[in-house]
Amino acid sequence: MKIGFHTDAFNSAYFSFEACLQWARRNGVHYIECGLIDGVSWIHGLGYQPHVALYEDPLLLRKKMSGYGVRFSQVDAAYPLSQRDGPLRGVPYVMKAIQWANLIGCPCVDTTDGMHKPEGLTDTAAMDMMKGSYEQIIEVAEAHKITVNIEPHGYFTTRPDMMEKMLDFCDSPYLRLNMDTGNTFIAGQDPVAFLKRFINRVSHVHVKDVSESLAASVRGDQTGIAVSHCALGEGVNADNIGRCLKLLRDHGYKGVLSMECEGQAGPMIEKSLQWVRKTLARLKIPVED
């Protein structure tokens, strides 16, 4: 398996994307994931946001990243497609992300739904709307040979029966699952059972622990975690993560494990990295650079 991280870890540190590349090189991590910005943001333009704007030239950025020994595992275009404005705002955003990902050599684009039941829509109407959106998105994904992942993060995607329907929106090998150990847990699901059900559809994995205090206060009431303020291995989800890694190992998964946690400008995500490396070694899972 491969080890990577999401640049969300450095949101509160106000890192630039290049600062994240520097962190990756210092720590021997070769895969990175970030959010994509469709437009101009002052905080990004001033260098205080660890994500990438779609106006940045993908070929030039690819060359810069190569100099750091880092490549993308996935880019995040997770505008909530279940909202009423999903077709208007989310679909063009994801399509641009797919085209940009192709040029930069990134294999996957992440998508999801909204945290809450969409206002003014029945579940059936929202699912029908998302099916139409994904049909348009997957047509573009197939042309560019980019995998579109659905991440469990919201009202529909953290419910296994709904996730199964969503993964069947299109009969295409380019529509797959981004497993998230933390979001499934905080939504009240068993991450191991969730992963087992969809193991054949997984193409990318978010590894996220959950603090005891957060689990006690909101588990079953929320559907996702913006950024986990808990190092991997130090929370109540650590055993589930280990069991998920065993499942992935036994299934032959060789993709990226993307760490998600608050970095504290480095220390917390460095603890997480140590834990992931030790756990993979204990489970006899080889790490590929």
Q: Could you give the CA distance from residue 207 to residue 245 in angstroms, rounded to a whole number?
A: 9
Q: How confident is the model at residue 32 (pLDDT cuts 50, 70, 90)?
A: very high
Could you identify the residue written with the tokens 């998508």?
Answer: 111
Q: How confident is the model at residue 156 (pLDDT cuts 50, 70, 90)?
A: very high
Specify the amino acid at residue 138.
Answer: I
pLDDT digits (tens, 9 = 90+) for 34-76: 999 999 999 999 999 999 999 999 999 999 999 999 999 999 9
- Say if residue 144 is exposed, middle or buried (CB neighbours under 10 Å; 0-12, 13-18, 19+): middle
**Radius of gyration (Cα) for the chain, nearest Å?**
18
Q: At 173, phi and psi to the nearest 5?
A: -70, -5
Exposed/middle/buried for 269, CB within 10 Å: 0-12, 13-18, 19+? Answer: buried
Tell me the pTM.
Answer: 0.97
Give residue 201's pLDDT: 98
What's the mean pLDDT in 195-207? 98
The arithmetic mean of pLDDT across residues 182-187, rounded, is 98
Tokens of residue 192, six digits: 């191991």
DSSP 236-283: TTHHHHHHHHHHHHHHT--SEEEE-S--TTTHHHHHHHHHHHHHHHHT
- Residues 6 or more apart whose CB falls under 8 angstroms from that of 281 comprise none
Task: Kindly provide the residue ranges of all beta strands, DSSP E only, lying in 145-211, ordered along the sequence.
Answer: 147-150, 175-180, 202-207
Q: Is the pLDDT of residue 289 over 90?
A: no
Average predicted confidence (pLDDT) for the chain: 98
In degrees, rounded to 5, the angle at the alpha carbon of residue 268 between the alpha carbons of residues 258 and 68 is 55
* Rounded CA separation 88/105 (Å): 27
**How would CATH label the architecture of 2-282?**
Alpha-Beta Barrel (3.20)
Q: List the domain boundaries for the chain.
A: 2-282
pLDDT of residue 56: 97
* Mean pLDDT calculated for residue range 182-191: 98
Asked if residue 202 lies in contact with residue 248, where contact means CB atoms within 8 angstroms, the answer is yes
CA separation (Å) from 198 to 31, 41, 150, 195, 235?
24, 37, 12, 5, 24
Q: How far apart are the first and last CA of the chain?
A: 9
Using alpha carbons, list the distances in angstroms from residue 66 to 21, 34, 63, 212. 10, 16, 5, 39
